[in-house]
């Protein structure tokens, strides 16, 4: 069986990221045991939600017995960033069938989005020719780079870049499905580990550490740093609010502070 | 802390978050062509389907939400300033933040943070 070149390229490119994904997934599994979830519920979260930060936040709030709407709303807010990924990657898959798009959507993560879009190259530009792009059924290669965004109807099979739709799909699946498999295995490893570790080790502290590892690079300029600092301080001050609403209050005030800081700089 | 919610409630939460997260992921992938056709003359901007205002808000969601999750988990307000600042989780968290800043690595942040916590538990 001839495994498409781009599938292998995707798997190769995602391998280094496992260094960050595996501990993240293991922490989730351990934290799920701590929070009192059953193994099936924990794996259920990893399969149905498949989004690390939202899953960890869900555990924290379930453990604190936060109100159900607060738990759901918090996870959804954390995943709202995926609107940007969905919008940003959509042009590359515009001519895919609806069912295929649904499959791609299910696997959409920060890493799958970032690697794929970087690999495809900017819209309207010629990508460095993918070696596997000799697929005769795909008529998009002769496409002029400048006419792609306006009239897709002329070339129903062509995408915005010169890489073929099939190539793009194989690469995406190579990255995204690998991440999914590693995430599920890491969850199970954490569940096994979590039941065997004494509480005095303080492994629950790994949860805020993961969030910290994601937070620091997210504060990359004055407005985003303002959003983080204000959001955090307000959340501490509001920690006593019922239903764990302090989290949502802190996040909301933080977002507003970021917007104000941005306006202040202009 | 463990949850005192019954299994059915946990599953309702899991499924609700799962369905809504899928809807977010699928949104623009599903609607892209319809949106593009309606607004005709699509531009070469890959994000052109999200209004700049919404994009500006989305930019601040990650730092604000993550900080709102991290800060209360490592800061415990005590009656005295010294008491608050000498908390071992806050100190370990500060060391881990430095590691996160230097390395931008989840693995290194967890390693340094847990190492600092265990060291402080022995020392303090």
Minimal CA separation from A90 to chain B, in Å: 5
What residues of chain A lie within 8 A of the CB of B73, using their CB?
A: 60, 207-208, 211
Q: How confident is the model at residue A168 (pLDDT cuts 50, 70, 90)?
A: very high
Tell me which DSSP letter residue A241 carries.
Answer: S
Minimal CA separation from A1 to chain B, in Å: 30
Q: How confident is the model at residue B41 (pLDDT cuts 50, 70, 90)?
A: low
Kind and range of the H or E element at A151? none
Task: For residues B113 and B92, give the distance between their C-alpha atoms in angstroms, rounded to a whole number.
Answer: 5
Q: Does B81 contact chain A (CB < 8 Å)?
A: no
Residue by residue, DSSP assigns B59-117 as: HHHHHHHHHHHHHHHH----SSHHHHHT-HHHHHHHHHHHHHHHH--HHHHHHHHHHHH
- A179-203 pLDDT, tens per residue? 999 999 999 999 999 988 888 888 8
Of A49, A94, A219, the CB nearest to B21: A49
Task: For residues A100 and A61, give the distance between their C-alpha atoms in angstroms, rounded to a whole number.
Answer: 34
Q: Does B75 contact chain A (CB < 8 Å)?
A: yes
Residue A35 to residue B3, Cβ atoms within 8 A: yes
Average pLDDT of span A4-11: 94
- A227-255 pLDDT, tens per residue? 999 999 999 999 988 888 898 999 999 99
Is the pTM above the cut of 0.95? no
Residue B60 to residue A259, Cβ atoms within 8 A: yes
Of B18, B30, B74, the CB nearest to A49: B18
Residue B17 to residue A211, Cβ atoms within 8 A: no
Q: What is the largest CA-CA distance in chain B?
A: 66
- B68-117 pLDDT, tens per residue? 999 999 998 888 888 888 899 999 999 999 999 999 888 999 999 999 99
Residue B41 to residue A150, Cβ atoms within 8 A: yes
Phi (first) and psi of residue A3, to 5 degrees: -75, 120
The mean pLDDT of chain A is: 85
Of B3, B14, B67, the CB nearest to A63: B3
Highest mean pLDDT among A160-164, B55-59, B69-73 belongs to B69-73
Q: Could you give the ipTM of this predicted complex?
A: 0.84
Task: For residues A194 and A32, give the distance between their C-alpha atoms in angstroms, rounded to a whole number.
Answer: 8
The pairs formed by A43-49 with CB atoms below 8 angstroms and a separation of 24 or more are A43/A184, A43/A187, A43/A188, A43/A191, A44/B11, A44/B14, A45/B14, A45/B17, A46/A183, A46/A184, A46/A187, A47/A184, A48/B14, A48/B15, A48/B17, A48/B18, A49/A75, A49/B14, A49/B17, A49/B18, A49/B21
């Amino acid at each position: 069986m001839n495994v498409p070149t781009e599938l292998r390229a995707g798997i190769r490119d995602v391998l280094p990221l496992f260094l960050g994904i595996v501990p993240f997934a293991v922490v989730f599994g351990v934290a799920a045991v701590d929070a009192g979830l059953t193994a099936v519920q924990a794996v259920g979260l990893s399969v149905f939600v498949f989004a690390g930060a939202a899953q960890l936040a869900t555990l924290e709030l379930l453990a604190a017995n936060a109100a159900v709407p607060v738990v759901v709303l918090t996870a959804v807010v954390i995943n709202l960033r995926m609107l940007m990924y969905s919008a940003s990657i959509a042009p590359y898959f515009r001519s895919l069938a609806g069912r295929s798009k649904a499959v791609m959507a299910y696997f959409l993560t920060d890493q799958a989005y970032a690697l794929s879009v970087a690999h495809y190259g900017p819209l309207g530009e010629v990508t460095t020719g993918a070696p596997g792009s000799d697929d005769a059924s795909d008529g998009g290669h002769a496409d002029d780079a400048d006419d792609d965004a306006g009239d897709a109807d002329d070339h129903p099979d062509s995408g915005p870049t010169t890489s073929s739709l099939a190539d793009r799909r194989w690469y995406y699946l190579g990255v995204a499905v690998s991440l999914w498999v590693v995430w599920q295995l890491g969850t199970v490893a954490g569940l096994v580990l979590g039941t065997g570790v004494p509480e005095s080790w303080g492994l629950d502290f790994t949860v805020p550490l993961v969030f910290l590892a994601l937070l620091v690079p997210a504060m990359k300029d004055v407005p985003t740093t303002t959003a983080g600092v204000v959001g955090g301080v307000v959340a501490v001050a509001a920690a006593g609010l019922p239903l764990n609403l302090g989290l949502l209050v802190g996040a909301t005030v933080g977002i507003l502070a970021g917007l104000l800081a941005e306006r202040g700089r202009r | 802390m463990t949850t005192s919610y019954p299994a059915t409630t946990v599953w309702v939460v899991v499924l609700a978050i799962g369905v809504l997260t899928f809807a977010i992921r699928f949104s623009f992938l599903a609607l892209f062509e319809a949106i593009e056709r309606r607004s005709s003359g699509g531009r070469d901007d890959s994000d052109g389907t999200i209004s700049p205002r919404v994009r500006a808000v989305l930019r601040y969601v990650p730092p604000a939400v993550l900080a709102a999750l991290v800060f209360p988990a490592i800061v415990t307000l005590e009656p005295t300033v010294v008491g608050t600042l000498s908390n071992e989780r806050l100190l370990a968290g500060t060391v881990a933040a430095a590691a996160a800043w230097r390395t931008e690595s989840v693995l290194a942040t967890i390693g340094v943070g847990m190492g600092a916590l265990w060291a402080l538990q022995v020392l303090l």
